[in-house]
Amino acid sequence: MKKINNLKIFVSIFLGYISLTLLTNCTGENLKNLGQGNAVWSESVFFRGYYPSTLVELTEDIIIEHAETLKKNNIKYTYLFAGPFSEEGFIPDYAFSDFAINSVKRLKHYYPEIVILPWIGGLQNKTVFLDDSIWVENAINDSKRLINTLSVSGIHFDFEFFMSGDPYLDELEVPGGSGDVDAYGNNVNNFHKKFRKLMPDAFVSSVVVATSPGTRPWKRKTTMEELMVLTKYVDQLSFLYYDTFLSDQSEFEENCVFLLKDIQQLKAASPNVQYLVSIGTFINPVEFQKYRNMDIENIPNSLQTLRKSIQKISRRKQIVDGISIFCNWTTDEDEWEEIYDNWTKFKTKWRKR
């Protein structure tokens, strides 16, 4: 009997060792702390019923393919584009249509575990006016109506502030930038605060630019002081770690570590928020190549750098709760495979909030 018990103990220890080994790669990297609450920004075809660039109609096969792609690649959240807010603060009518309602149902049918969050927002001083109380009131009320109409659990807000100084963007989008740069952070926070008060039980997702000090994106960075307030009103926050203006790998790694340390600080203050790091799978036009060095910001290097940076900070604690991918319509099959090989295949225990 004693020999049998000793054998059971040995087997238990051996199986535990094997389990730990399977979650550790050959370099000793702990893969257990790679959060897998992954997300992707998805196009408006699922609400419009057609592709706006080609007018090709949405079919059941396209819905099935999207659902299967999300499931195969361990994506838990899809941000379905519901269109930018109008200049008056309203969401486009197509997002409230019977077609949109049915698309949500069909996606859930093919992938029951997926969390569908309509994606709404826009560019400050173009269609977004967060400093206008009437615009804000219209926007939060229409956002509530959208959640209730689609019978979804929440929403993804994507507000953008373009800094002045880039000749191409100044001419293309908002001449002179998006306005009062100092007031913008508080305006964003006040919007989320008002929406949280209106819908206390909704799942609220939002997105900001990475806080890393050495990056130079064309969008305004949110300060840590502002983020400490914002995280009181959201359930999930993505940090865009692309368009960094970096061309040196050591600087890319260094700034990734800076970002993760900021996330670690935010997580200590607001531990129930999910913190995601965003990568880009985009077409790289000439005008943006100074921001996007694809030798640095390609998918494998971005994810390997993120994993390496996580290990530098903590080999045990989960700092990042997942990655968010911009965007589904520029991610081909090979790129999905790169995402899978470098992050999403390392499935860990995940708790939906």
Tracing tokens 């075809």 back to the chain, one arrives at 45
Pairwise CA distance, residues 33 & 318, whole Å? 5
Amino acid type, 329? W
**Phi and psi, residue 42, nearest 5°:** -120, 155
Pairwise CA distance, residues 247 & 290, whole Å? 9
Pairwise CA distance, residues 34 & 321, whole Å? 7
Beta-carbon neighbour count of residue 283 at 10 Å? 9
Per-residue pLDDT of the chain (353 residues; tens, 9 = 90+): 444 455 544 444 444 444 444 445 555 677 778 999 999 999 999 999 999 999 999 999 999 999 999 999 999 999 999 999 999 999 999 999 999 999 999 999 999 999 999 999 999 999 999 999 999 999 999 999 999 999 999 999 999 999 999 988 888 888 878 999 999 999 999 999 999 999 999 999 999 999 999 999 999 999 999 999 999 999 999 999 999 999 999 999 999 999 999 999 999 999 999 999 999 998 888 999 999 999 999 999 999 999 999 999 998 899 999 999 999 999 999 999 999 999 999 875 444 44
**Phi and psi, residue 137, nearest 5°:** -60, -45
Pairwise CA distance, residues 118 & 38, whole Å? 16
Question: Which H or E run contains 224?
Answer: helix 224-230
54-87 tens-digit pLDDT: 999 999 999 999 999 999 999 999 999 999 999 9
Q: Which structure tokens are listed for 27? A: 């370099």
What is 35-344's CATH topology? TIM Barrel (3.20.20)
Q: Show the DSSP H helices in 111-223 as ranges.
A: 133-150, 167-172, 181-198
Question: Would you state the pLDDT for residue 14?
Answer: 43
